[in-house]
A and B are shown apart, each in its own frame.
Chain A
Amino acid sequence: MKHFMKQLNPELFCIAVFIAFPLILLAAVLLKPDNAVSVNENRMLTTVRDIPTDVLDGQFQEGLENYLSDQFPFRERLKSAETGVRLRFGQASIGGAYVGRDRRLFQKLPGSDVDSGKCVRYAARVNRMAEQTGIPTYVMYVPSAGIALREEMPFGAPMYDYDALYAALAKELPSAHMIDLLPALYGHSEYYFATDHHWTAEGAAQAYYEWRAAHGAEPDNQDSPTIITVSESFRGTLWSRVPSGLIPAERLKAFEVSGDITVEADGKEISLYDETALATKDKYHFFEGGNHGILTVTNHDVKDGGTLLILKDSFANSFLPCLVGDYARIIMIDERYAFMDIGQFALDSGADEIAVIREIISAG
């Protein structure tokens, strides 16, 4: 061997490696079985069968590039190793997330990423609906974790101007009851997940107290919802952006709900809590099995409660169970999946109240 090494021209060896190494990697990509799904990324990967054959419009070329990247050996492990190095270096911005105190993750939302014009137009639409239908309308905007937990964020990390946005939206909504959640949520790290952009059950419970207060309940006369742990191994969407073993999994909790309840989503009966989601990566789908266009919860035990219409984003999914005991019927609409005249629908369905529950930066 030693003799052989001496004989070998090092330049020739270097050239041979430069040519052979990528070809070996290519062979590895081709020979190893394709992965169809990336659980972490929550998307389908390009497999050899997905590569289009159309060369002239460039689809084959694009497909091949995606295939090579998506099926690269140890792709996710390499990403996780890279992320680990970045974390150890103390990088504060990784993969579109901020890494804050104790490696708590935040969605990166500088002002340039927020379409405030769209949010304002949405608010104006809600206000018009409140005026035209005459139905009492409550608007509960959820501040993003990076706003409520400013102190936990990397120092100076740019975020949108919450106060200005809130003021602009409130100005558009004179006919609605605004429920300002920031004071209740501010500074409590337990109210938001460390690996996901949503609020925790504790955070949602705080919102429930504010909701009740806005409905005239005395502050000391609250039925606190009972919170139970449903999973110890929740890794949220932000963890997918910063996938590293250095960031531990956390608890996923939910409200205990009792009573005779039926839930119907887009014409099918489902359960309020989808236990099967707990076995997957997307554990937040535990709440109602994810987002639906129209979801109706009927509580047969509530005889004198009215109908509540909720316009929402996914923050409302974990919040909804708090309200189930208060209304005979809750209709929850996700406007991204349900295209209709919401005002007319509110009147037709006999809604007694309308609630807007969404992250402040999400417009309908």
Chain B
Amino acid sequence: MVFSSAVFLLIFLPVVLLLYYAAPAWVRNPLLLAASLLFYGWGEPVYILIMLFSTVFDYSNGLMLEWLDRKGRPQARRWVLVLSLVGNLGMLGFFKYTDFLISSVNALTGQAFDLPGIALPIGISFYTFQTLSYTIDVYRREIRAQRNILSFGMYICMFPQLIAGPIVKYRDIQKQIDHRKLDTDSICRGVFRFTIGLGKKVLLANNCGMIWDEIAAQQGVTAVTAWIGAIAYMLQIYFDFSGYSDMAIGIGKMLGFDFLENFDYPYESRSVTEFWRRWHISLGSWFREYLYIPLGGNRKGLPRQLLNLLIVWGLTGLWHGAGWNFVVWGLYFFVLLAAEKLFLLEKLQKAPAAAGHIYTLLAVLVSWVIFACDDMGDAGRFLLSMTGANGFADAASVYYLRENLLLLAAGAVLSVSLVRRFLSRRVNALPDRRARFGVKTAIGGALYLLSLLSVIGSSYNPFLYFRF
């Protein structure tokens, strides 16, 4: 199930909230587990089995690690950790990368092995990383293993962040799993946050996506048109992804959880290094904590640090998708980040702020074109169009500019913290608590209504005898 669907908005969310608030505290975790399994299995019921397997597998591994610890058997503990890593990553690898691997082998060797065409269970990249963080933290003795399998299952399957993050580490919410407070103030903040995320996804991301799809489908576009397309995609991916995180964090708050922030206005960054501290924060911190630092981080000299970065960014690319463009995308960031570490960051800090902003935005814009094009040739051609290989502008550029200027300008303004800072200053300056609340409710209500209408409206699909 996705958040921006009629079933979720009109049935699932209100019914789950109603039951959740009406239920006694001890029923809430099992209830949430059941609701999450329903949510996950909605599109592909058979994948519930994967969820159940993950739950039982990692639950047992956690207990086993602690038991072996009490018995004083470090060697066996290590083997359990390896088993957990192989099991979780093996599942991710099987579902996500089998086709990619075989097609790559075919391309390299000229063979023609059949692709099994394995369908990717949604969210598997996200929850695999959640389960890994749990086992590794138990292994490191940073957390106690969860003894209640229902509570553990609830953590693994929790629907708000299940399919698109943030990647919630067990230790960040372990206290809330068993004891969480529900108060109207934070529930309300959750509702507001959810509506913001819904609006970002439905009103901004989807419309920006249509611009990109249309322009990317055309051959030989001029520079201005290509830039409009690339900027539209840049905004789409930000509003889509951060909108999902907002919705997840918002629903989390409605349920009494505090998830960590996942986006912090990344397009305001002055370097790529900063960008990655503010974009998909939970993924960056996962890789840092469970891969980069264990590999030695920056403690083993510069060459080793660069190698570590290369490994991390190659895998970060691959995590985003099973395709060579994602690998190239990851390595592209490796090059930029390495350059920044070596000399660029120092120079950027001395340069005017604008230079840093422009450099970062350009670097990120180019990265998104690589990200968006499955075919590297397409990415290359599109980037060439952006440099003016097909001319600077034509009538179509004027059309796209006029048609989309308002949306793109709104998107650009809303992707930085300007409006938010301005609004919160003004709203917080209101003397009356009720007035402050009223303004927020009006904004949230309007966003909710418009988004709902847009979700419903997307079903308006005239069946026409065009071409007939």
- Residues on A lying within 8 angstroms of B by beta carbon are 9-12, 14-15, 18-20, 22-23, 25-26, 29, 40-43, 55-56, 58, 61, 64-66, 68-70, 72, 75-76, 78-79, 82, 89, 91-93, 95, 107, 110-113, 154-158, 197, 237, 240-241, 291, 313-314, 336, 359, 361-362
Contacts and interface: CB of A to CB of B under 8 A. Distances in A.
Contact of B465 (A10, A61, A237): A237
A111 B219 contact: yes
B365 to A, nearest CB: 22
A111 B434 CA distance: 55
B389 interface: no
A92 B464 contact: no
A43 B461 CA distance: 9
B463 A41 contact: yes
21 contacts: A14-B441, A18-B17, A18-B191, A19-B17, A23-B18, A26-B14, A40-B462, A41-B462, A56-B45, A56-B46, A61-B1, A61-B43, A75-B456, A75-B460, A79-B460, A92-B399, A111-B218, A112-B217, A113-B217, A155-B398, A313-B468
B45 A55 contact: yes
Nearest to B400: A156
Contact of B219 (A20, A91, A112): A112
Contacts of A65: 5-7
A61 B462 CA distance: 22
Contact of A110 (B6, B217, B402, B455): B217
Contacts of A75: 456, 460
B184 A11 contact: yes
A29 B18 CA distance: 19
A42 B464 contact: yes
Given A156-B397, A241-B462, A72 B456 contact: yes
A121 to B, nearest CB: 16
A197 to B, nearest CB: 6
A161 to B, nearest CB: 11
A155 to B, nearest CB: 6
Given A15-B188, A110-B214, A110-B218, A68 B10 contact: yes
Contacts of A95: 460, 462
B7 A156 contact: no
B52 interface: no
B25 interface: no
Contacts, number: 150
Contact of A58 (B44, B217, B459): B44
A212 to B, nearest CB: 26
Contacts of B397: 156
Nearest to B192: A14
Given A19-B17, A291-B468, A362-B467, A43 B462 contact: yes
A15 B184 CA distance: 8
A349 B45 CA distance: 56
Contacts of A68: 6-7, 10-11, 456
Contacts of A23: 10, 14-15, 18
Chain B interface size, as a band, is 35 or more
A156 B398 contact: yes
A154 B402 CA distance: 10
Nearest to A98: B399
A197 B465 CA distance: 10
Which one of B10, B219, B396, B465 has the highest number of Cβ atoms from chain A below 10 Å of its Cβ? B10
A234 B391 CA distance: 43
B191 A14 contact: yes
A254 to B, nearest CB: 18
Contact of B437 (A11, A40, A55, A155): A11
B364 interface: no
B9 interface: yes
Contacts of B441: 10, 14
Nearest to B463: A43
A129 B272 CA distance: 62
Contacts of A78: 453, 456-457
A293 B15 CA distance: 51
B399 A156 contact: yes
A72 B454 CA distance: 12
Interface in B423-468: 434, 437-438, 441, 448, 452-453, 455-468
B399 A155 contact: yes
B433 to A, nearest CB: 8
A319 B403 CA distance: 36
Give the interface centre of B5, B7, B461, B464 by most chain A CB atoms within 10 Å. Answer: B464
